[in-house]
Structure 1
Amino acid sequence: MTISDVRESRSLLRIAGLPYFLIALVARLPFAMMVVGVLTAVVSIRGSLALGGLTSATVGLGTACFGALLGAAADAFGQRRVLLVLAAANAVALALFAAVVYGDTPDGLVLAAAFGIGATAPQVAPLSRARLVTLIRHRIAPERAPRTLSSTMAYESAADETVFVIGPFIVGLLAAATAPWAPLVGAAVLTAVFVGAFALHPTGRLVAPGREDGAAPSSDVRDLFRPRVLVVVGGTLGVGLFFGSMLTSLTSFMADRGRADEAGLMYGVMGIGSALFALGVAYLPARFSLAARWIAFASVLLAGSLSLLLAASPAAMACSLAVIGIGIGPTLVTQYSLAAARSPEGRSATVMTMVGSAVVVGQAMASALTGSVSERFGTSAALLLPIATAALVLIAAVANAVLSRPRA
């Protein structure tokens, strides 16, 4: 009897175990702390906001260049080996960056160290998704699998939103209570301990190459570049572009009112709503297809973005962000569900890291562009960029609907 023949009636929570979800949640925190921690350290120690922004973008660039490759390595060699190497390498990279930024070193070396942080960042979120998708495919009864997959992607997206709200808060707390290097060292410790624990968890054996009894050989690499996969990657790139443009233009909006330090709190209005509505996706009826969900929630995202043009006060801005949160969380859940469903055999970690890296790339690109537009043309011009990126997400949703039609 093969693993794929075993269809258990137990829930995914009981199959994976509660400790798995707790470990996977905390193991995401270092990634959420890295960009903000680097920015805080550079601005505080080097006294340059421009260098700080460039350094944070360089972390994202490192992740963008190597994220999908690390996912492919996990598919080829198993998550456990790859994650153990990355846990050690990333902890060292974080500690090295702290030493470099404090030293009398050229800015180029600071940027190189930041790139190393991004390049070695353990892709816990996409690898967790890939791991849970494997469990669903082989341990959940077929009639329960679609709803379980939807619930799992909803939880994973909510977990991402949660750590990206908590992560910057921890950075600020550690930096204020101790020193600018503290968040970096804290992230290094969390990486070594919890990413290591995530790698060694028993579920890691399920995604080791050759360990799934009766598993089919991995699909051809060309299958990763089929339109039905690429449209999802393009859609998540659009979400990343939205995140970057929204946060940067929001910072400009609050700075115009002398309250730039409150931009993160205001952004949290969107993040909290996004997480809550992401969890709600699990309760949507199965007849509300993934293609239709993407179009519906991307439309809400665009409508909320258009309302930014009417926001003349922080209160009005908070209302716009609340509407945006209704659209953005479910959109991401839908995109990850599509990515899971369309992952070629043996390539789930690769696809999940492609999708995750697209968000990081989009965020880094849009942050740099929006900052430049805000500085040259003002906040009103900068607020047009979230609208444009939301429109791109909707266009990708329509393209996906076309590609999702049954072939004649």
Structure 2
Amino acid sequence: MTQTHTSAQPSLLRIAGFPYFLIAFIARLPFAMMVVGVLTVVVSARGSLSLGGLTSAAVGLGTACFGPLLGAASDRFGQRVVLTILAIANGAMLVTFTAVVYSSTADALVLVSAFGIGATAPQVAPLSRSRLVTMITDRMPEAGRTRTISGTMAYESAADETVFVFGPFLVGILASAIAPWAPLVGAAILTVVFVGAFALHPSARAVSQHRDADGRAPSSASELFRPQLLIVVLGILGVGMFFGTMLTSLTSFMADRGASEQAGLLYGVMGVGSAALALGVAWLPARFSLRARWLTFAGILLAGTLLLPFVDSPASMMVALAIMGVGIGPTLVTQYSFGAARSPLGRSATVMTMLGSGVVVGQSLGAAVAGGIAESHGSTAALVLPIVAAGVAFAAAIANWWLSATPHSAARTA
């Protein structure tokens, strides 16, 4: 994140400032708390696990539908105005949803308000990536940009994984210590305070130099649908599907052994290793190209999932999860690096929110399908789904290998 090639070259830490990274990290927490917090309060207040699952899926659907549009608005009008509006709107939706759940209104209104939470969710992580890439591209010497972007994507992915492990843990603490509604009220407060601070940070004024005075980009919106970019979206969708299917099937696996509450601890084995390896990507040699990294680490992820049909104890599950952790973090970092490299001029926020929404859609879809299969066919059947998800990420890596060899993208990513 802060590598330099000469003493005269400014580091990203100096350009952005340490407070930026602290604010951006905490501002991610509400997003990590939303899905689990919604599930917790719905099950508690309405007594329906199925409604809780549908409500969580509605949050993901709202994010998927509106995330890329909010990214496009950030590219067009700047992050400050968009995030300020979202911080207020999302905080209000979280409180409104809590009131609706505890009221006597119909379940349909619960689902609508959950969709509203997702639709107004400030996607701090992809917008932070976009903001940092803009700083690197506009304010750092070209010689150090590639390595700095790689390090930045590594840090951002590690921060995401840390938050998505700590977020549900914080939900559990607040729900147990205060009440089931406390996590959502806490998320609303964090959203208004820290997303608001993220919006008002001086770096929010950084708009790509490729945009004209009216905010128009020199590139056409049709460039967002180039095969070289869409294959990255497909690959990251596979990663999201893996997250959703793995956690859900793991929970079912541990429930069969009377220890469902330990699923999060086992999942953490993969998360810790994944975050550590994600940070290590920044120090990989330049000759280990992005397309080779995606193929290699997606292959390791797939290899880890192929052990799942043979897992028969928590100990053997930990071994499989540790192997998957080696693959998943670097794969995610590499996909975001491809997204940064292939973003059309002036549209980096749009691309990053497309990728972020891909993770959310995949996670919601994977969790929903895995939950249904685990309930109807058991854990053994559900544990096949992470293999399918990893297969999607690996197949996309193979397709990307050939697409990266085309003249349009080979210069920066091959």
TM-score by length of 2: 0.94
> Corresponding residue for 2:233?
233
Summarize the alignment of residues 99-138 of structure 1 with structure 2, pairs less than 5 Å apart. 99-138=99-138
Cα distance in 2 between the residues matched to 1:188 and 1:50: 25
Q: CA deviation at 1:218?
A: 3.2
Secondary structure of 2:155 counterpart: helix
> Corresponding residue for 2:311?
311
Q: CA deviation at 1:271?
A: 1.0
> Corresponding residue for 2:218?
218
> Corresponding residue for 2:175?
175
Is 1:405 matched with 2:405?
yes
Amino acid paired to 1:48: S
> Corresponding residue for 1:281?
281
Amino acid paired to 1:195: V
Aligned length: 402
> Corresponding residue for 2:89?
89
Is 1:251 matched with 2:251?
yes
Cα distance in 2 between the residues matched to 1:115 and 1:388: 28
Residues 43 and 52, structure 2, Cα contact 8 Å, conserved in 1: yes
Amino acid paired to 2:123: Q
List per-residue Cα deviations over 1:131-161 (Å, max 9, x = no partner).
0000110111111111100000000000000
Q: Considering only aligned residues, what root-mean-square deviation do their CA atoms show, in Å? A: 1.7
Amino acid paired to 1:30: P
**Counterparts in 2 of 1:216 and 1:87: CA distance versus 1, 3 Å:** closer
Cα distance in 2 between the residues matched to 1:337 and 1:216: 24
Cα distance in 1 between the residues matched to 2:306 and 2:210: 50
Residues 232 and 339, structure 1, Cα contact 8 Å, conserved in 2: yes
> Corresponding residue for 2:371?
371
Residues 8 and 141, structure 1, Cα contact 8 Å, conserved in 2: no
> Corresponding residue for 1:352?
352
Residues 281 and 330, structure 1, Cα contact 8 Å, conserved in 2: yes
**Counterparts in 2 of 1:217 and 1:45: CA distance versus 1, 3 Å:** closer
Q: CA deviation at 1:207?
A: 2.0
Secondary structure of 1:122 counterpart: coil
Cα distance in 2 between the residues matched to 1:253 and 1:217: 49
Residues 67 and 353, structure 1, Cα contact 8 Å, conserved in 2: yes
> Corresponding residue for 1:142?
142
List per-residue Cα deviations over 1:72-113 (Å, max 9, x = no partner).
110111100000000000000000011111111111111111
Cα distance in 1 between the residues matched to 2:406 and 2:365: 35
Cα distance in 1 between the residues matched to 2:206 and 2:19: 17
Amino acid paired to 1:95: V
Percent sequence identity is 67
Residues 76 and 209, structure 1, Cα contact 8 Å, conserved in 2: no
Cα distance in 1 between the residues matched to 2:210 and 2:306: 50
Gaps of 5+ in 1: 1-6
> Corresponding residue for 1:10?
10
> Corresponding residue for 2:3?
none
Cα distance in 1 between the residues matched to 2:157 and 2:244: 17
Amino acid paired to 2:250: L
Amino acid paired to 1:294: W
**Counterparts in 2 of 1:79 and 1:347: CA distance versus 1, 3 Å:** same
Secondary structure of 2:142 counterpart: coil
Is 1:204 matched with 2:196?
no
